[in-house]
């Protein structure tokens, strides 16, 4: 289609559309095919300034692919021997705008299959990444638990694993995922154990529920927390509790 043909459709001057292959219009007005009189047409081609239905323009075997999916559009164009750009005149903007493509149905199917294969490849990669992260988590928790048991040999193994798992929860922002936690520093390990003992071995949580101020509650349980930590630090390992 020449740009003169496109002008005829809009009845107005318009910027030249640089498209390869046939151009197809979504008509703004009701139009009928100049050959078979079919219509009103939802899509038409122009020949000598006259509207043609897609069948009369030998484009009837093509299917419409709405614009929007860039990868699918590019691939459908690559796969399709014959490919028509579909445009519609936007009155307010005073220009033709692309609406999509007419492509061969088999080409669209192949393009969709390629995009699907990509999506499946991405899904497989995500699954592998998730597995890798899970393995990292397992290693991290084991290392953290071992660090707890080195500093606190008297801490029952079950408790150590539970504290490490709690500290290592991905994205929790707890001490275990901090840089110090990653490095399994003595400070980070001790902080995690101290917090676990405070919540699990003292009435700290109950005090908070009863309305005791946090600072006051911490003071009240500090002796018990310190005693448990001291015992765990000095006691020989008791093995799996
Ligand atoms: Zn026709």
pLDDT tens profile 27-63: 989 999 999 999 899 999 998 889 999 999 999 999 9
Pick 118 or 3 by higher pLDDT: 118
Ligand 1 centroid to residue 36 C-alpha, Å: 4
* Neighbour count for residue 4 (Cβ, 10 Å): 10
- Asked if 154 contacts 198 with a C-beta cutoff of 8 angstroms, the reply is no
Ligand 1 centroid to residue 58 C-alpha, Å: 9
The confidence score (pLDDT) of residue 181 equals 57
Ligand 1 centroid to residue 48 C-alpha, Å: 14
Ligand 1 centroid to residue 132 C-alpha, Å: 60
The confidence score (pLDDT) of residue 125 equals 93
Q: pTM here?
A: 0.54
Q: How far apart are CA 33 and CA 46, in angstroms?
A: 10
Dihedral sign, Cα of residue 6, residue 7, residue 8, residue 10: positive
Pick 216 or 141 by higher pLDDT: 216
Of 46, 119, 54, residue with least CA distance to 82: 54
Ligand 1 centroid to residue 55 C-alpha, Å: 6
Q: How far apart are CA 129 and CA 127, in angstroms?
A: 5
Ligand 1 centroid to residue 52 C-alpha, Å: 5
pLDDT higher than 60, residue 225: yes
Ligand 1 centroid to residue 228 C-alpha, Å: 90
Of 183, 189, 206, 187, residue with least CA distance to 155: 189
pLDDT higher than 60, residue 221: yes
Q: Give the angle subtended at the CA of 76 by the CAs of 73 and 80, to the nearest 5°.
A: 140
Dihedral sign, Cα of residue 232, residue 236, residue 240, residue 241: negative
Ligand 1 centroid to residue 43 C-alpha, Å: 11
Instruction: Map residue 126 onto helix, strand or coil.
Output: helix
pLDDT higher than 50, residue 14: no
Ligand 1 centroid to residue 59 C-alpha, Å: 11
Ligand 1 centroid to residue 121 C-alpha, Å: 44
**pLDDT bracket for residue 132 (50, 70, 90):** confident
Three-state secondary structure of 57-95: CCCCCEEEEECCCHHHHHHHHHHCCCEEEEEEEECCCCE
The confidence score (pLDDT) of residue 146 equals 93
Q: How far apart are CA 212 and CA 218, in angstroms?
A: 10
């Amino acid at each position: 289609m020449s740009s003169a043909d496109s002008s005829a459709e809009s009845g107005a001057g318009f910027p030249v559309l640089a498209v390869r292959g046939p151009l197809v219009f979504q008509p703004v007005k009701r139009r009928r095919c100049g050959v078979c009189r079919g219509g009103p047409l939802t899509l038409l081609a122009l020949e000598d300034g006259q509207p043609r239905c897609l069948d009369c323009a030998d484009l009837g075997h093509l299917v419409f692919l709405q614009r929007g999916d860039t990868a699918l559009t590019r691939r459908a164009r690559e796969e399709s021997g014959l490919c028509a750009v579909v445009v519609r005149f936007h009155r307010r903007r005073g220009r033709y705008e692309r609406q999509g493509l007419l492509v061969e149905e088999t080409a669209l199917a192949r393009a969709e299959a390629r995009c699907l294969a990509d999506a499946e490849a991405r899904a497989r990669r995500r699954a592998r990444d998730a597995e890798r992260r899970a393995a990292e988590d397992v290693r991290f928790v084991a290392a953290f638990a071992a660090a707890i048991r080195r500093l606190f040999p008297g801490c029952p193994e079950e408790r150590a694993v539970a504290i490490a798992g709690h500290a290592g929860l991905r994205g929790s922002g707890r001490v275990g995922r901090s840089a110090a936690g990653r490095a399994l520093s003595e400070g980070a390990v001790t902080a995690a154990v101290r917090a676990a003992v405070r919540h699990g071995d003292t009435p700290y949580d109950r005090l908070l529920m009863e309305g005791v101020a946090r600072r006051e509650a911490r003071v009240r349980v500090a002796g018990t927390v310190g005693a448990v930590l001291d015992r765990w630090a000095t006691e020989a390992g008791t093995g799996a509790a």
